A and B are shown apart, each in its own frame.
Chain A
């Protein structure tokens, strides 16, 4: 990084030159201090004094007068955005010149401004303009920096933007604001432009401060999406056409008591099936989907991600195909937001955070009366992200209606939240062919087929583990009965800290899973000795569930960032050992049941 040293030399030289008249030096130091504290006026004055030097440097580096103007403008904005991060205000000028140099290098590497992309202004603002005044990748930062100023009462009467940003920057922001509703626009401008504090705005609108923050957050999301939309040449919201707004709310069957609380994939699919007039018990869904028999623990520590690591698409497709449905997916991941559960979504394509890419899927299904399975990363606490069901949309209010594991009456999500979800995973199910009445023997035989498949899957998963393995090299999971070993290792290792939050969810979820496994096996379509073995397996799963429920009492599923205290570990280990003993026995009985079933079948065939 030779150029850094060079910049620093230059920075020092500039400081020395500027320091020649003592008064000027004192003034500048004062200005720098004021600017560092967020005083935009001081910032503006300080940089006006050095603008020509900065421009000279930029021109020398880029060899282009026009590009130099852009470089200085961008550097000013960047400097303003990052001002709060500068510890020593006396280094403000050298730092600023370093930014100028970096910006110049960046522009040169890019082969001039916007070599790759069309300037956003020219698309979004009427009449088109020259190169954008602001770095639009930094829209969020520009706004948050302005918002930061708003919190400083001393500056509340000033308009820092006027001193800093060229007029067209503001015009462009204003041009974008059409995507906001009247109220959103009012709150947004009060906050960002009039620099009012959230408490004041809350007073004006008779709302809580918390909801003002929600409005501001949503407005920023909308602006970001509008920016992408404009850069793609999509029609801005305002021009989408009046009278085209639609909406529909499906009557979703109520969530019944026997449905899983922690396995929201099973309960969500259960609600969809019930809504379609095909009720399935929680035990059947958990058993048939294999969720009751799966156990997966991260090799890192007791994070709860193992609960979600499997092939989502094929598991859902296979389960629903068994019930006679075809599945359509809409899935992807966002590039600019951290994505949870990488091990499950690592191969999803990168998609854009715009409504146009996701809302049509929802609208078309809901219009056809089909609820949509949705992976919600805004699930209510203590959940982090869960499967849910979208059962309605409203273009006018720009919201979808969605279920939530905690809010029994459901909730609403803004279109922006759906488009901005870092994991895009939606599935809709349509019946294959016509639904004709099924005869009792045929239904029994179908149920038996599903049971046989589930038991084989359960035995194989317990003994051999999951066939699904993430490609991401640093993610691995212990699966099946081996998962207990990993879980116990995490608790026994004095060097690693078991994750308390994740452990709470693991204990609660796996206790629920074992409980369902027991229930599923109790209703097995078996006879004779095979059934006796299935009942023994069921009892053993119940005992495993009891041990894990006790664990769940010790480490409850609550939102916490705390590290687990060492004193708790020993008791947890003994409960896990107990659960493992019972589950190992359960798997052994399942194997016996399966063996007897085959023998009995063979015997029946021979008799026949």
Chain B
């Protein structure tokens, strides 16, 4: 019998059910191979494992930062090319994965945000459901009617639910024709302080301060959780998954986020990746497993491959089909392009809070963010 080959797979994820299933089926296909699953708490630990004498063959990471490290991962472009699966893969996330020219990993755990709306609240208010081509103005008008406050001013229902996070406002910036950073991520100057970006941000701040349709940080609320007292929700795939998991998805509809400028459809995407390390002694075998795990097996809620989505009936699913469709509109967010920007996001969020709560000047604040990239 051929000598047992070990393929070491390090993951930062904690739900290993699908991975364990893929390991089992792969080991049946390749009886001489043992896939060893190892865990890592974060990118820091993964990088340390990579630098050690016993680097894993594959690293699956919850974010993209490690994949931006030059030379750490094998370029998967030739593998994708050879396997002829390019056309089968969703090109939106793949383009982001390739933003540095190579393809250091295949996207996993992809999640894009959509406008998830509570149908009953719209029905009660006698309002039509949101449409995919809604403008920002239509969205704000509806949200104003859907925000219900008691005599004490405390909202029992908010028109829109979204947290304070610079990353979550980026789709609205994209949809106004702006960006935070230059396409190569090298600078924020001329981008985060552009009229398009400032305009989008001003609209968002007005939604909090002028229209009162979004709950401000620490604002008293009687609206409960997102799925309870919010007419429209900035809902990632994970949120929709929870609605489905709890069997309440039929109460909700899904539409694209409103547009701020004509012809602007961009959206953000969160994704991790799985890639073959440059130190792997078995890159070919590692690719076989990666493909088996991510393309042939049903491993992640939103698969990277169209044929798998087809096989699982996701294209016909009322909600999942919308999220899959949205993948095509994903643009690289600032956090993919520049590590300094990425690492500064909580300082930026503190400024966001100052604009929302204290009314700090939007244009001036955004101009000051040029220091972060």
Contacts and interface: CB of A to CB of B under 8 A. Distances in A.
Interface of A: 1, 4, 78, 81-82, 84-88, 91, 95, 98-99, 102, 106, 109-110, 116, 137-138, 140-141, 144-145, 300-301, 303-305, 333-340, 342, 346-347, 349-350, 377, 384, 422, 471-474, 494-497, 499-502, 561-563
B361 interface: no
A82 B78 CA distance: 12
Contacts of A301: 14
Chain B, interface size: which category? Answer: 35 or more
Contact of B343 (A116, A333, A384): A333
Interface of B: 10, 14-17, 37-47, 49, 62, 65-66, 70-71, 73-75, 77-79, 81-82, 91, 94-95, 98, 101-102, 163, 165, 182-184, 186-187, 278, 283-284, 287, 339-340, 342-347, 349-350, 372
B217 to A, nearest CB: 10
A85 B276 CA distance: 10
Which 10 A-B pairs rank lowest in CB-CB distance, beginning with the nearest?
A338-B43, A561-B38, A340-B44, A85-B75, A87-B78, A335-B340, A301-B14, A346-B346, A335-B339, A303-B41
Contacts of B91: 1
Contacts of B46: 338
A340 B49 CA distance: 14
B44 A563 contact: no
Contact of B82 (A81, A88, A144, A495): A88
A140 B70 contact: yes
B75 A88 contact: no
27 contacts: A1-B91, A84-B74, A85-B71, A85-B102, A86-B78, A87-B78, A87-B287, A91-B78, A91-B81, A95-B78, A109-B184, A141-B70, A145-B71, A301-B14, A303-B42, A305-B41, A339-B343, A347-B346, A349-B347, A422-B44, A471-B349, A472-B346, A473-B165, A494-B17, A497-B14, A500-B39, A561-B40
B194 to A, nearest CB: 15
Contacts of B346: 346-347, 471-472
Given A339-B343, A350-B340, A473-B163, A496 B66 contact: no
Contacts of A495: 15-17
A562 B41 contact: no
A500 B38 CA distance: 10
Given A87-B283, A95-B77, 5 more contacts: A1-B95, A84-B74, A110-B184, A495-B15, A501-B41
Contact of B70 (A86, A102, A138, A563): A138
B10 A338 contact: no
Contact of A349 (B16, B66, B344): B344
B189 to A, nearest CB: 8
B87 to A, nearest CB: 11
Nearest to B342: A335
A113 B38 CA distance: 43
A4 to B, nearest CB: 8
Contacts of B95: 1
A121 B15 CA distance: 49
A85 B77 CA distance: 9
Contacts of B347: 347, 349
B75 A561 contact: no
Given A87-B79, A109-B184, A339-B343, A499 B41 contact: yes
A339 B278 contact: no
